[in-house]
Structure 1
Amino acid sequence: MHDESRATPDTESSIDPFVEHRRLLFGTAYQMLGSVADAEDILQDTWLKWHAVEQDSVEHPKAYLVRTVTNLSLNRLTSARATRETYVGPWLPEPLITAPNAAEETEMADTVSTAMLVVLETLGPVERAVFVLSEVFGYSHGEIAGFLDRPEATVRQISHRARNHVQSRRPRFDTDVELRSEVTDKFLAACRGGDVNALMELLAPDVTMWNDGGGIVTAARRPVHGDDHVARWMLGVLAKPVSAGVELRPAVINGELGIIGVVDGYPIGAVTYDLVGGRIQNLRFQVNPNKVSGLRAAGEEQR
């Protein structure tokens, strides 16, 4: 997983446990919070705490760091939930550019998908922490109990409840890489050509589209339903003067092929989607300018 952080100085030794486990720490924070910026903040706070303690007295540095990240993320998630209640329009996770072969490099490829992060949002903070630590990173209930200062029996109950909750809502979509690439190419061609019929052929009849503009940029504040409404809304937006100069590019986002919108080489938004029977079932547009930090590295690389 791509895990940029502004927390660690470039001069930090590679043998520092924080650096050694940085990928794990970022992944834990990101999957708990669904926010690249918040995950980076958590890493910075963790780094400060790590370098404020007598490190020689820490018997298990990795466990100490994971515990610190987990509890900082829990605090941040609890406060963030209150903020999201007043959020303008749909709230979507921050997109994260991942390696093209992310599915081969990490077992987190499925759980880091945008669809899964949306499901994790329906869990309570502690349930989400237990699920991520257990199901994604493979920690035992006893280890998680130590991280959270809770009885192991309680953690086991929480884990069972969270797993059942996620499984009942877990998205089941097409995972064929070649099919997704073919649909993406056709989707881009239809959008660039303004072809509403070609676009509708790619959309499931009951497709739903969500837009996260955060009240900062123009975006639909309610989900848009149906292939005709979604197609015409999309092409209508692309035809507006405000969309002039926007270039659509394929990119691997949260472990799956998606699309980023770029202006003068700078990413301004992301499109992720789910496929069912070869058609797009769900479309998610992340255009909140405060939530595209996970796209910036890709934009810089393509300048």
Structure 2
Amino acid sequence: MISRRHAALAALLTAVATASVLSACTPAAADRPLVVVSTNILGDVVDQLVGDDVEVMTLMRPDADPHSFEISAQDAARLRTADLLVSNGLGLEEGLQQHLDAAVAEGVDSFVAGESIDVLEYATGDAAGTLDPHFWTDPARMIDVVEELAPRLSDLPGVDEADVDAHVDAYLAELRRLDDDMAAAFETIPAQRRALVTNHHVFGYLAERFGFRIVGAAIPGSTTLAAPSASDLADLVSAIEENGVPAVFAESSSPDRLMHALAQETDTHVEVIELFPESLTAAGGGAEDYLTMMRENTQRIVTGLAP
């Protein structure tokens, strides 16, 4: 009995020692560099570019509105400890900007995606002449962002540069394939039917890249926090009828009541189709990552506008 007990204790001590060794060989989360990302779209992209040696913390939850989401005091404190802070910029993170500015003021290294692209200005609506932050609707511009961001990720402490480079090359290939596939899909829509009506102005970059025209938006400003007037909606109803628009597009992160009311005011049959333009969804929501989101939006736009 005593010898069996000694044997059992010896086995237990061996297991504990082995676990300690394995634990020592595995970097703890606290030992990994921390990259904090503002929006969930950029958070997914950063996740694709780094391996397990980097912790990625995304502030914006799935299905949230990037213009209005807020963070906890705990998240605000943690982002000030980041090795790198990745944000969109261009006025997108309205409810978060004070925290981003505070972190940078305290010395946190920052990468602003909007500084890596050829930025468009809003052409119409209340925001005409201001910068449009929705660059991700054009995969070519997301390629520009990834190429600029890659060396900043490779320079993080303790990161295997070759590993990051391999992830970056693979993801850039996926982005180029996405760009080609979107172009081919949109070619099935005749030029006269490439007309977009959305909740607010979110598809300027997609329109420029793939030859669409923006007929208008239910909310005429650059943000979902704005509110339309009765005259704005009346003008948009007239524009929908004049352009023969067969479908208008609601956003998954905003209520679609306004778009349904808009469609019902027209004298023609207009479908309301939901898109995922500004936020990824939770698992099972249909747009769990950036590539899936873009492909799903492309398919739904083609379904709504192709003859």
* Superposition TM-score, scaled by structure 1 size: 0.29
* Superposition TM-score, scaled by structure 2 size: 0.28
Q: Which has the larger radius of gyration?
A: 2
